[in-house]
Structure 1
Amino acid sequence: MSDRRNLCLLVAEVLGHDRLVGRLGATEAGHAVERCLNRIDRAIEGNGGTIVARADGHVDVVFERCDAAVLASCEMLERVLSLPPVSGTRLTMRIGLHYGAAEGDSASGEGFDVARRLASLSRPGQALASGAAVMLLSASTRHFAGTEAIHDADLDKLEWPVYAIGQRVGLVTSVPPSARVSQRLRLRHQQEILFVEEQRPVLLLGRELGNDVVIIDARASRQHARIERRREGFILIDQSTNGSFVSIDGVGERCVKDDEIVLSGPGRIGCGFSANEIERDLVFFDIV
């Protein structure tokens, strides 16, 4: 795996360990959780996932494709649900899925933070996926996602709409209307043209070679910024030392540092330098 890539990230958590400790002791409770984790491992392996962290009833996994992550989630839920109760206590699990940036071979980074947040908001026996992941499902897998986004006080605070995932949650024949952004953001850097769209909802910029747009200028950070496709449009999020300079035609230039801005376009982005400079590393953007 390269240093930074966009992948489908899954976080699974086994629930019920503490209740079992009180009844059976820590050793037997640990064995029961391990049986659940073994079933989860088989679902991951069977669907091509890679485990990057596994401890204390938690598993963090990366998948190349969102379809595989959703199928693995459904299989995990079924496998764990089929286990008999232990001393009258049924162990269960919850899952969070998100499509975003993974940092190397570790379970760190904002993408995993979102997946963990979704897992923590899931009910026992439930899997929740961000709209970023659901939008990348193929037609043959979309029926595993709910037809409508779930709304409650906590989920509505997230940047993405959230959908339930499971064998019988609903039938989706197209990308959920509330998650769809019909437009695309076109970016031009030197001779390369890239799009932020349904197939690529997150784009990374920086000096590191693993980025989608590699900036050569020394004023840019290794992981300088990212652009996300959200419900409200295309958002640039700065995570750099020197800031991102965004010039939108008719609006003027703004320096964004540890903050975000809507790219309403057309305009230019300077990674660590003014977007008004004559610079070969400028990134030009417009909405098409």
Structure 2
Amino acid sequence: MSSSRPQTILFADVSGSTRLFERKGDIEARRLIAMVLDAMSGICARHGGRVVKTIGDEIMCTFPGALNGVLAACDMQRRVGRDPEFVRESLAVRIGLHHGDALEEDGDVFGDAVNTAARMAALAKREQVVTTAATYQSLSGKVPEARSLGRARVSGKLLPIEIVDLVWQEDTSGMTLVQSSVLRQAATEEAVANRLRLRHRGNEVVLDADSPVFMMGREAGNHLVVEAEWVSRTHAQVEFKRGHFVIADRSTNGTYVRIGEDEELKLHRDELHLRKSGTISLGRAGVPDAPDLIHYEAE
């Protein structure tokens, strides 16, 4: 029997697990990861939540309300951050959550809220809790502070959405905090339309904050095609997230980016904030006036 109702979906995964397996071996690494997941499962239950499933080093939970999920996420971070064994092994967690309608079926949950929560988890870094501004704005009472992370794209949504980073640490000195009232005001104001110009072989493309992810590579299906043997089929992508344009490398040979007059940087399975103006070269170091050199300008 399927049913849909509002609930908070939370994803958390263990950061540092790959190196843990390399250093400790399979048995000990699995033991430590299981300890982290068990600790988070216990916190989930204490906040009225339910563990939907664990997959590898990731846990998925649901909560009846947004505040339950937010407080659980903060407690999860504190629990892992205070455990001497986890700290010694450089283990931490990344958490993303979102409150919305989700379809329940055979103990699992599906739908837009699940997809959005998964995207929040993907955006989170270690020791970070990321949620949507809409979820944060729905909270009442004594709630954690938050920092704005700008806007991010979520699959299935036409426009980017506002996201925030929850401040779970007790010592918040030196942090730039955003109150709920400020977030509510920002959500109602029209965002400034940042733009990025890309020029390649005489063609120009202008991206703004609402543009879909811009793909570059050797295959014809990409938005920008560079036909060269050193370029991967799907080589790199440019996306507006967290308030600025970011280029992410997905290739075998790397992506070379020069910002202004700085030295050229090589990205390999990593991402970089595109600032000012400069050049992008797919697959090999850029050569001035090379026909396949991509010029960019951030406005």
Matches within 5 A, 1:1-288: 3-85=3-85, 89-104=89-104, 105-141=107-143, 143-146=144-147, 149-151=148-150, 159-167=160-168, 168=172, 170=177, 172-174=179-181, 176-180=184-188
| CA deviation after TM superposition for structure 1 residue 35, in Å | 1.0
Pick which of 169-178 and 57-66 moved more: 169-178
| CA deviation after TM superposition for structure 1 residue 54, in Å | 1.5
Rounded Cα–Cα distance in structure 2 between residues aligned with 1:107 and 1:26: 30
Distance verdict in 2 for CA 1:153–1:160, change over 3 Å:
closer
Instruction: Please report the TM-score for the alignment, with normalisation by the length of structure 2.
Output: 0.54
Rounded Cα–Cα distance in structure 1 between residues aligned with 2:33 and 2:8: 25
> Is the 8 Å Cα contact of residues 14 and 57 (structure 1) preserved in structure 2?
yes
> Is the 8 Å Cα contact of residues 23 and 87 (structure 1) preserved in structure 2?
no
> Is the 8 Å Cα contact of residues 98 and 113 (structure 2) preserved in structure 1?
yes
> Is the 8 Å Cα contact of residues 14 and 33 (structure 2) preserved in structure 1?
yes
- Segments of structure 2 that go 5 or more residues without pairing to the other structure are 190-299
Distance verdict in 2 for CA 1:171–1:31, change over 3 Å:
same
For residues 71-117 of structure 1, give each alpha carbon's deviation from its aligned partner in whole angstroms, at most 9, with x where no partner exists: 10110000011122569531111011111221203132221111111
> Is the 8 Å Cα contact of residues 7 and 102 (structure 2) preserved in structure 1?
yes
Letter in 1 for 2:57: G
Corresponding residue for 1:224? none
Aligned length in residues? 178
Higher strand share: 2
> Is the 8 Å Cα contact of residues 70 and 144 (structure 1) preserved in structure 2?
no
For residues 9-64 of structure 1, give each alpha carbon's deviation from its aligned partner in whole angstroms, at most 9, with x where no partner exists: 11111111111111111111010101111111121111111111212111111111
Q: Secondary structure at the match of 1:22?
A: helix
Rounded Cα–Cα distance in structure 1 between residues aligned with 2:68 and 2:37: 18
> Is the 8 Å Cα contact of residues 128 and 165 (structure 1) preserved in structure 2?
yes
4+ aligned runs moved over 4 Å, structure 1: 85-88, 152-155
* Percentage of pairs with the same residue: 27
Rounded Cα–Cα distance in structure 2 between residues aligned with 1:28 and 1:80: 17
Instruction: Please report the TM-score for the alignment, with normalisation by the length of structure 1.
Output: 0.56
For residues 226-247 of structure 1, give each alpha carbon's deviation from its aligned partner in whole angstroms, at most 9, with x where no partner exists: xxxxxxxxxxxxxxxxxxxxxx
Distance verdict in 2 for CA 1:95–1:158, change over 3 Å:
farther
Distance verdict in 2 for CA 1:117–1:25, change over 3 Å:
same
Pick which of 5-14 and 168-177 moved more: 168-177
Distance verdict in 2 for CA 1:138–1:153, change over 3 Å:
closer
CA RMSD of aligned residues (A): 2.7
Letter in 2 for 1:151: G
> Is the 8 Å Cα contact of residues 84 and 90 (structure 1) preserved in structure 2?
no
Letter in 1 for 2:16: G
Letter in 2 for 1:28: E
Distance verdict in 2 for CA 1:87–1:131, change over 3 Å:
closer
Rounded Cα–Cα distance in structure 2 between residues aligned with 1:70 and 1:163: 12
Distance verdict in 2 for CA 1:136–1:161, change over 3 Å:
same
Distance verdict in 2 for CA 1:176–1:40, change over 3 Å:
same
Pick which of 58-67 and 81-90 moved more: 81-90
For residues 185-205 of structure 1, give each alpha carbon's deviation from its aligned partner in whole angstroms, at most 9, with x where no partner exists: xxxxxxxxxxxxxxxxxxxxx
Letter in 2 for 1:178: A
